Chains A and B, each alone.
Chain A
Amino acid sequence: MKDHCSHQADCLKMIQLIVDGEATEQQLAKLKANLESCKPCIEMYQLEKEVKELLAKRMEKKCCPEQLVATIKSRILSFS
Chain B
Amino acid sequence: MATIPEVMSDTPTRDDDQLLPDGGSNEQPSADAPARRYTEEQKYQVFNKEFMPHIDSMYNFAFRLTTDEDDANDLVQDTYLKAFRFISSFEQGTNAKAWLFRILKNSFINDYRKKSKEPAKVDYQDVETTYNSEDAETEHTVDLRAESVSDLIGDEVATALNSLPVDFRTVIILCDIEGFTYEEMAKILDIPIGTVRSRLHRARNLLKEKLRDYASSMGYNEENEE
Asked if chains A and B come from one complex, the reply is yes
Chain A residues near B (Cβ < 8 Å): 8-10, 12-13, 16-17, 20-25, 28, 43-44, 46-52, 54-56, 58-65, 68-69, 71-72, 75-76, 79-80
Q: Chain B residues with Cβ under 8 A from A62's Cβ? A: 56, 59-60, 63, 72
Judging by beta carbons under 8 Å apart, are B77 and A71 in contact? yes
Cα–Cα distance between A75 and B7 once the two chains are bound (Å): 40
- Please report the total number of B residues contacting A with Cβ < 8 Å: 56
**Nearest-Cβ distance from residue B40 to partner chain A, whole angstroms:** 6
**Nearest-Cβ distance from residue B82 to partner chain A, whole angstroms:** 11
Chain B residues near A (Cβ < 8 Å): 1, 3-5, 7-8, 40, 43-44, 47, 52, 55-56, 58-60, 63, 72-73, 76-77, 80-81, 84-85, 137-141, 144-146, 149-150, 152-155, 157-158, 161, 172, 175-177, 179, 181-182, 197, 200-201, 204, 207-208, 211
Judging by beta carbons under 8 Å apart, are A55 and B157 in contact? yes
Judging by beta carbons under 8 Å apart, are B146 and A60 in contact? no
Shortest Cβ distance from A48 into B: residue: B204
Cα–Cα distance between A12 and B88 once the two chains are bound (Å): 43
Cα–Cα distance between A61 and B154 once the two chains are bound (Å): 10
Q: A16-B201, A22-B182, A58-B154 are in contact. Are A51 and B207 (CB under 8 A)?
A: yes
Cα–Cα distance between A56 and B47 once the two chains are bound (Å): 27
Cα–Cα distance between A79 and B40 once the two chains are bound (Å): 10
Q: A16-B200, A22-B182, A23-B1 are in contact. Are A76 and B60 (CB under 8 A)?
A: no
Judging by beta carbons under 8 Å apart, are A47 and B144 in contact? yes
Q: Chain A residues with Cβ under 8 A from B5's Cβ? A: 24
Shortest Cβ distance from A8 into B: residue: B141
Q: Chain B residues with Cβ under 8 A from A63's Cβ? A: 56, 59-60
